[in-house]
Structure 1
């Protein structure tokens, strides 16, 4: 695997600085001075036609006169000059530029920016900025910023849209001894944005942890793809300021009123495996912990304090963040009783009283660190008359060095002048130290939450229910296209029900009528009791305008209520178009709970699904969970558990537990619906009745909008769903019937069985080692793939017992250069030489071409003659590796395949 295509941008060996000057107060002068001060380990070329020398360095009039082609251009000249500079750099072969200059904010500036990026694109140049602080890479002495701060080397990467936040973090880090692997200010992000930067940082060996400051997302798919790749490999903590434009402002449904942009953003972050901070103070707390590479298996915290008040403050914050504070084990309680005063707290927090000595602190800490109930310890100190803050700190530092304890220690010495020396000692010893108990608890929470999120990502969802009714996507789309052709955006009640039926969502029938006599016939046909609901595209919440009448038991009641309802609403809502009413059977069961399932279209992340309490008071109760599709069973279950109404779904007060699986099924069907139908902008199922016998939607509403011209499948979604359109059945040349399809998370068990059934030699030839089985991490990596950047096709067939089994798999992963991919293929021993491998490889090649990749490559053991013969049949070139005769390199030019 070669270097990432952004490596020379963020790790250049030579730099040209446009706008370098003798004036350190200027942006260009400051940036050039910073490069000199930081000790950049490469060549620096100041460019300024007005000077022969700048800051005692030879200065060049233009890029053409520079003796070599620099890896990076740092530009700090007026905005109007930059398109010409980019043109000159492109012609010279400069591949990357960081544009510090501002002046692109107004209408004329936007035109300049468009011109600049267009020129860069023509030459394949990549740009950071404009209007950014710059970039830093301390390990190579790179400080291409106009900040007043330098940075020390470390393992923490910072990416920020705000230059001001960058300078604040750098200033804080300098005072706290926190080092960085990379600092990147994206500015206006005319070209490179978070997604590509996260791609680079995910593979950067110097970066162990990542901090993000975000104001807005331009490309949600790329952002999510990059964030998931990074968070799967290393902790990512982010802070987002401001709320994204709220879809609820234009929404007319319950869902739109409930779900705003910020909730969707939080759902996206949770889905990615990253952790979200809520304030700059929390970001600093996370940075301090991440800089020490702390790992926490779970979130059980012990608190050790010499004062009750700080302990209570820490406990309150822990409760708010969901941090667990278990009781002390009986054995630990007995050990503490031996040396602690009689009046210690006898619980967690462990209050060892105001006269606590260094010896008492260390003895208590040792007990807590060895207690299996806890995953970490927070130590608090208030500087009381009898305490020695510095001495106690040093004793804790000495203990942490001597004790062979893997659990992290967090500290918070409260105060200022009396504790400043202790804080310095902790910082030098790489023990996280904070000014407040709350900040320390937040830091513990961030790290533990990250590791919990990773555990969630490793979960293998249960196999999909093979008995589910197949969705009638084409039928549903035909209905929606008819609605759009009639220039309507809101589906009628019967059209909505048809869409629900097409995707297998249970819903009560409804008959649209426009006269009292039709209403009577409909009611008699459906059977009493029935309900009447006003039928108007302009009246979303029917009950708010008196447009719902329930439990009508006779045709006389139906006739009377129809006339009264229509007449009253026409008088009170003269602007509304009234099409009559819908007649629906009353759904009466004694144990139902009212739920809501909805969909809204976020302007950045696309469709978002919500689940929660239903009924007429949903906005008041505001009990809902939000998630991005596509959902699987595990994610649907998780959504339900996040709500308060989930407790009401269990048995209580004589009510039986509801059919939980039926609710999950509806969530999955709605997820499938919004993935397959990009026209759906809003959807409400309210209420969805649930009881022990299943679920039934009683009312639903769908709003649609025509997708953009040339809309690609799933383009409207931030996360690429399972590409079911790639499933195909075929017969190999040997007559074997197989199904080729992309792998999915639910295939975890199939994949395990497949590897288990490979012979030892086949496992060796595939993995180049004596692998016996797949670890949970490997299983997750193989089955939970990002369909945007990789693909894995499996071949399945039925064995002699009629069981569906996996008999072969092939996959490619896009390389960091974004142009090539690495492939592999393996077939079960008892199904080899039957055309399975060839069919798999052909599908893989075709998909890689469709994604615009240019080269497919791989490494094969020289003794694997069957594989070498296979790839030759598919026009791969094969050559021996210069440094290893046991391995050959294979390569296919996809443009010619």
Structure 2
């Protein structure tokens, strides 16, 4: 593959520092000192009008005087010079600029004007800008400190991406004192151009980065952020710390219950979980979690066993575990029997295991070995307190040796001060997860378990719901277009329920009535008892204006209540707003539970699905969980389980359990609605009444908004749904039917079989080695796609054993979002049948659907057949920029 498009920024071969100087305290002086003293081996050109040399390096007076092209320009001069300097960079062919001007403020009116001019000029020349920022970046493996940080940065495998210079400096200072290293440190500053998503995209491809720390204050492009975040989380541990958790100015004025019940931080939280990221709540958590979330510590569950030589210290851990809902499992009978043989009678052989204050290294080691083998335990915390008869150094050595023999995490808490100082240093040198307080160790175990749980959410890629009847999209879009064409955004109840019906969501029959007489006639047809509701333009919550009467049991009462309701409505709203009434039968579910399913809009992440307790008291109980669409069965179940109302859905007090499949069906249908109808801004299905027989939507409110023309499909979604519209049925040259469709996660077994059946030559041409089976991680990577940035089209036919994959073509969008890199492989038995052309045509269509303009890829120079095929498809064949054994093929779409 070609080098990442940000490689010249973060690994430049040459740098020009405009304003580089030796003036003490200036940004130019700090940057130059760091570049000169860090050991950076690239060329550095200080640009300075007044001095001949800076730190012994010859200067040039202006960028125009540079004798050769440089990869990166760092601008440290006053903001009034920036526009002119961007122009000069463009003329010199410099494609990356980092702005570190100390006086630049991009948030006030004057600063925004300058920033707009900078960005316009940069776009003109194809320049990418990092910043404006007062910090810069670090690439420790390259010994590159392009920043004004005063300190040392140790080389490591962790990357830090931050939106705050102050927080970046604080984290680096802490890391230096704890000997924690970094592969990259990037402070984005105002992030006027290059943003979090861009840097994450670079780090995904960086082999020197194994884990990533994020400090987030705000987001500009949620889809790019989620796409890059999900790509990073598939291969690296990602931690995120976000400030502004209680900022809720965007959602408190929502019109529906769903909109008012959630805050933007709730959405950010579920977004991180869905991306497989661990959310941190404080800098201290970041510091502690950073020690273990580097890929070397993993847990498969939340069950923690505690071993201690001081029960009081052990109970500190127990208390914190209960607060965090970390499970402290009962040890198995076999484990307890082994502990009985090992420990003195007065020791506590349950969880926590108290091995007594005089425990020596061998007792510590043996007890830990026994507990680690317990199938009920996912991790062990060893709490050591210095007492008579203990040996902290030997115990630490025993734990270091033991850690190498188990795949379960061993966390160590060495409590004390001077007496355990030496053993703590020993544990640190061995890179063991050690803590001075047992509570901190429990918090880290909780973080490990949460991260592993979030990784399961990351793997959920909802596929089309083939077992459910397809929605009536034509009717749905006709209803939506009709409402918007009338100049309205609020759908009335009849329209809302019609839209739900088009997605096969059960609703109560609802009849319009213009007068009391019409209401009586409707009630006779529907059957008593009935519910009466006002039908008035723009009214979201009818109960706020006494617009709902339930359980009306006689026709006389229907007439009386209808007259009163209409009179009140005309008096309060005016005759031009009142259309009449709607009448519907009472749902009649004696053991029904009232639920709410809704949709809200987050300003960054777009549509959000809500679920919780329903009815008129929905906002009083405030029981709601949120999830980002699209959903599948697993995610729908997870959404239900995160509410308090879940306890009411089972059997209690003689009532049968609710039909959970019917509830999940509604959640999946609502997910379909928000994916396919970007006009939906808000929705309440409240109450959704559920019992053992199913569900029925008693009331529904939907608010719409217009969608700009030519908008890209699914651009309103933070997570791209399965692109079912790209599937097609075609045939081979011999007339055999074939399906071309985007790949799905459940295709993993079919892909594994497909690769196994390839010849050695085909495997080598595709993977550039002859591996016969794909590793599990690579198999997941090939089948669990982020459809925002990548696509794989599989060709399938029906065989004796069922569906069989006979060809795969895939592409991954380059970070420029304008081009993509592709690969294609066809089963040996199916070559020469016209499959390749059809498969590549489907891939071209998928790339165009993503608004990509160029498709390109690598082909082995020895693969003459593929090169001829590429030429037939209209690709130009070029010399590969990095490898003589490869050709670079390019096609304009």
Q: Same fold (TM over 0.5)?
A: yes
Cα shift at 1:297: 3.7
What is aligned with 1:507? 507
Which one of the candidate residues 328, 334, 338 is aligned to 2:337?
334
Structure 1 Cα separation of the partners of residues 879 and 92 of structure 2: 36
Contact 2:740–2:796, Cα closer than 8 Å, also in 1: yes
- Is 2:95 aligned against 1:95? yes
Aligned to 1:532: 532
Tell me the residue number matched to 1:14.
Answer: 14
> Could you say which residue in structure 2 is the equivalent of 1:439?
440
Alignment of 1:467-546 (within 5 A): 467-546=467-546
Equivalent residue pairs, number: 888
CA contact (8 A) 2:460 2:632 kept: no
1:231-630 to structure 2, matched below 5 A, reads 231-243=233-245, 245-290=248-293, 293-382=296-385, 386=388, 391-401=391-401, 404-406=404-406, 407-458=408-459, 465-568=465-568, 577-630=577-630
Cα distance in structure 2, aligned partners of 1:764 and 1:657: 56
CA distances 1:348-376 after superposition (whole Å, capped 9, x unpaired): 22233444444543443343344444333
- Is the CA contact (8 Å cut-off) linking 2:237 and 2:295 kept in structure 1? no
Q: How does 1:744-783 map to 2 (within 5 A)?
A: 744-748=744-748, 751=751, 776-783=776-783
Q: Please give the alpha-carbon distance, in whole angstroms, between the structure 2 residues aligned to 1:662 and 1:830.
A: 45
1:214 aligns with 2:211: no
TM-superposed deviation, 1:415: 4.8
SS for the counterpart of 1:270 is helix
* 1:182 equivalent among 181, 184, 187: 184
Report if the CA contact (8 A) 2:505-2:666 is conserved.
yes
Q: Is residue 2:106 matched to residue 1:118? A: no
Distance 1:721 1:402 in 2: 45
User: Is the contact between residue 631 and residue 668 of structure 2 (CA under 8 Å) also seen in structure 1?
Assistant: yes
RMSD over equivalenced CA pairs, Å: 3.1
Residue by residue over 1:581-605, the C-alpha shift from the partner in whole angstroms, topping out at 9 and shown as x without a partner, is 2101111123322221110010000
Per-residue deviation, 1:894:
1.9
Report if the CA contact (8 A) 1:768-1:861 is conserved.
Answer: no
The offset of 1:185, in angstroms, is 0.3
3-state SS of 1:249 partner: coil
In the alignment, which residue of structure 2 is the partner of 1:229?
Answer: 231
Q: 1:18 to 1:267 in 2, by over 3 A?
A: same
CA contact (8 A) 2:508 2:698 kept: yes
Cα offset for 1:204? 0.6
Q: Deviations over 1:10-45 (max 9, x none)?
A: 122222222222233222222222222322222222
Does the aligned pair in 2 maintain the 1:765–1:861 contact within 8 Å? Answer: no
Using the TM superposition, give the Cα deviation of residue 229 of structure 1 relative to its aligned residue in structure 2, in angstroms. Answer: 0.5
Assess if the C-alpha contact under 8 Å between 1:100 and 1:134 holds in 2.
Answer: yes
- Which residue in the other structure is 2:35 paired with? 35
Cα shift at 1:258: 1.4
3-state SS of 2:500 partner:
helix
Do the aligned residues in 2 keep the contact of 1:247 with 1:256 (CA within 8 Å)? no
Q: Secondary structure at the match of 1:584?
A: strand
**Residues 1:274 and 1:561: Cα distance change in structure 2 (over 3 Å):** same
Cα-to-partner distance string for 1:798-832 (whole Å, 9 max, x where unaligned): 5689x665444322223567665443334456655
Other-structure match for 1:191: 193
Q: Which moved more, 1:208-217 or 1:35-44?
A: 35-44
Q: Which of 887, 890, 893 pairs up with 2:890? A: 893
- Secondary structure at 2:73's aligned position in 1? strand
Between the aligned partners of 2:877 and 2:66, the Cα distance in structure 1 is 41
TM value normalised by structure 2: 0.92
- Please tell me whether the aligned partners of residues 299 and 409 of structure 2 are also in contact (alpha carbons under 8 angstroms): yes
1:787 is matched with 787
* Residues 875 and 892, structure 1, Cα contact 8 Å, conserved in 2: no
For structure 2, list consecutive stretches of 5 or more residues without a partner in the other structure: none
Cα drift, residue 236 of structure 1: 0.2
Equivalent residue for 1:841? Answer: 840
Q: Distance in 2 between matches of 1:421 and 1:697?
A: 66
Q: Which residue of 2 aligns with 1:729?
A: 729
Match of 1:163 in 2: 165
Comparing 553-562 with 767-776, which one deviates more in the overlay?
767-776
- Give how far 1:580 is off: 2.6
Q: 1:209–1:291: 8 Å Cα contact kept in structure 2?
A: yes
Measure the CA separation in 2 of the matches of 1:33 and 1:431: 35
The separation in 2 between residues aligned to 1:720 and 1:158, in whole angstroms, is 27
> The residue matched to 2:601 in structure 1 has which SS?
strand
Partners of 2:68 and 2:474 in 1: CA distance? 59
Shift of 1:283: 0.8
Counterpart contact for 2:457–2:635, Cα < 8 Å: no
The offset of 1:441, in angstroms, is 1.7
Contact 1:475 1:502 in 2 (8 A): yes
With 181-190 and 486-495 compared, the bigger mean Cα shift is at: 486-495
Deviation by residue 1:118-147 (Cα, 9 ceiling, x = unmatched): 222222222111034110112222111212
Over 3 Å counting, the alpha-carbon distance change for 1:511 and 1:457 in structure 2 is: same
Shift of 1:577: 4.0
Aligned partners of 2:595 and 2:686 also within 8 Å? yes
CA contact (8 A) 2:600 2:681 kept: yes
Contact 2:307 2:368 in 1 (8 A): yes
Q: Is this contact kept in 2: 1:532–1:584, CA < 8 A? A: yes
| Residues 291, 228 of structure 1: alpha-carbon distance in 2 compared, 3 angstrom cutoff | closer
SS of structure 2 residue aligned to 1:288:
coil
Equivalent residues of 1:154, 1:291 under 8 A apart: no
CA contact (8 A) 2:135 2:147 kept: yes
- Quick one: distance in 1 between partners of 2:883 and 2:574? 83
Paired with 1:306 and 1:587, the residues of 2 have a C-alpha distance of 62
Q: 1:800 to 1:443 in 2, by over 3 A?
A: closer
- CA 1:699–1:753 in structure 2 vs 1: closer, same or farther (change >3 Å)? farther
Give the distance between the partners of 1:874 and 1:537, measured in 2 at CA. Answer: 57
Gaps (5+ residues) in structure 1? none
Task: Tell me the SS of whatever aligns to 2:290.
Answer: helix
Worse-superposed segment, 771-780 or 603-612: 771-780
Name the residue aligned to 2:697.
697
TM superposition shift of 1:655: 2.9
C-alpha displacement at 1:694, in angstroms?
1.9
- Structure 1 pair 829/37, CA: closer, same or farther in 2 (3 Å)? closer
Please give the alpha-carbon distance, in whole angstroms, between the structure 2 residues aligned to 1:764 and 1:182. Answer: 34
